[in-house]
Amino acid sequence: MPGRIVQSLIDAGTNNPVIMLDEIDKIGADYRGDPSSALLEVLDPEQNKTFVDHYVDMPIDLSKVLFITTANVLETIPPALKDRLEIISFSGYTEDEKFHIALSHLLEKQLKNNALSDKEAVLEKTALLELIKNYTREAGVRNLEREIAKVFRKVALSIASNGKKYTLPITITAKNLSKYLGPKKFTHSLAEETDEIGLSTGLAYTTVGGDILFIEVALLDAGKGQIILTGQLGNVMKESARAAFSYVRSRAKDFGLDPEKIAKTDVHIHVPEGAVPKDGPSAGAAITTALISAFTRRPVNRHIGMTGEVNLRGRVTEIGGVKEKVLAGHRAGLKQIILPRDNQKDLVNVPSNVKKALKFHFVKNMDDVLRLVLTPVKD
């Protein structure tokens, strides 16, 4: 039989179809061959004009075919194959987008799948929002649809088992949602209640959206100037913490600190939720702020969240995932957001209602950050 590419041309009946290659990051090489090596020729416009299928045994022009591939992560795609692709990144849905997708499509679909009508079961908007926030944590809406289906299945079972007992329609509210889905599966981190010394609020990007990240710093006297890192941090985040500590030591006198005391103090940096792996350089500003707060004994404003990579000169540099991080800060109850100056352009992707609710500060270096977040010492 012809290969899948040639068979797709035959099925389409044209030489310029759109061919979708799904989950290309899952390709693996074994004793049966390496599909990614075959794709190098197929996806290269300079080579695929003379693609040879072993069954047809003659050159086939694939230059007019539009290939679209999908992937969840780029790290597992071979570099040579990635070089032949134009990469377009899509961020996950926001809670507001999930809400409207469910309202417009998923509710009606699952009512029909479970042999119900809107006169028999009603999922209130408040319950739908509660379901999205506390029962799902994902970039798409696949699990959201499963949870909605679970609710309607239980409603259908109740009606089938003892329909006379219930007054229709059965209404699912935010208060009785746990009756159908059990206790909440997820809780979103909320801003602290008081300003704390050695505790800053960072903003993190995850595969399922954004979240806030608390950075805790404890100083241990009679030490050797060592740095202790806990919280299941990745290598990049560990390097950010070490760079932040080096920056603080290099500018100790500017902050009114004794360099000799710092040299004899061990620093413990901890990022809570230790079971969750964390990585990336964008927590640099938050780590540096928590360190300086701990050494100067000045509390950090709890209403301000921050993100940005920090180099050894104290410059706050550009990061990614601005939309998701800002939405996470807004959801957690923060009032102000600190972003690198070079990320000002990324605010165009943030919903207008979120931008109106938050105050943004665009900083160039750590001096700008410290002026905003460190509160005066109380007598």
pLDDT tens column, 31-51: 666 777 778 888 888 888 888
Which residues, listed in sequence order, are joined to residue 206 by a DSSP beta bridge?
209
pTM for the model stands at: 0.75
pLDDT tops 80 at residue 99? yes
pLDDT tops 60 at residue 328? yes
pLDDT tops 80 at residue 207? no
pLDDT at residue 379 in the model:
46
Q: How confident is the model at residue 63 (pLDDT cuts 50, 70, 90)?
A: confident
Instruction: Of 122, 95, 108, 161, give the one whose Cα is nearest residue 324.
Output: 95
311 Cβ contact partners less than 8 Å away, ≥ 6 residues apart: 243, 317
Instruction: Of 205, 332, 186, give the one whose Cα is nearest residue 278.
Output: 205
Asked if 282 is an active-site residue, the reply is yes
| Domains of the chain, start order | 4-82 (3.40.50.300), 95-181 (1.10.8.60), 199-373 (3.30.230.10)
E strands within the chain? 18-21, 51-52, 59-60, 66-69, 121-123, 170-172, 199-206, 209-220, 227-230, 266-270, 304-306, 309-310, 316-317, 336-340, 359-363
C-alpha–C-alpha distance, residues 136 and 177, integer Å: 13
pLDDT tens column, 261-285: 898 899 999 998 766 778 888 899 9
Mean pLDDT of 45-63: 83
- Taking a C-beta distance cutoff of 8 angstroms, is the pair 5, 42 a contact? yes
Instruction: Of 317, 315, 255, 319, give the one whose Cα is nearest residue 291.
Output: 255
pLDDT tens column, 166-192: 778 889 999 999 999 999 887 766 666
Asked if 325 is an active-site residue, the reply is yes
Q: Average model confidence (pLDDT) for the chain?
A: 87
Of these residues, 98, 278, 323, 325, which one is catalytic?
325
Of these residues, 282, 352, 364, 378, which one is catalytic?
282
pLDDT tops 70 at residue 64? yes
DSSP conformational letter for 374: B
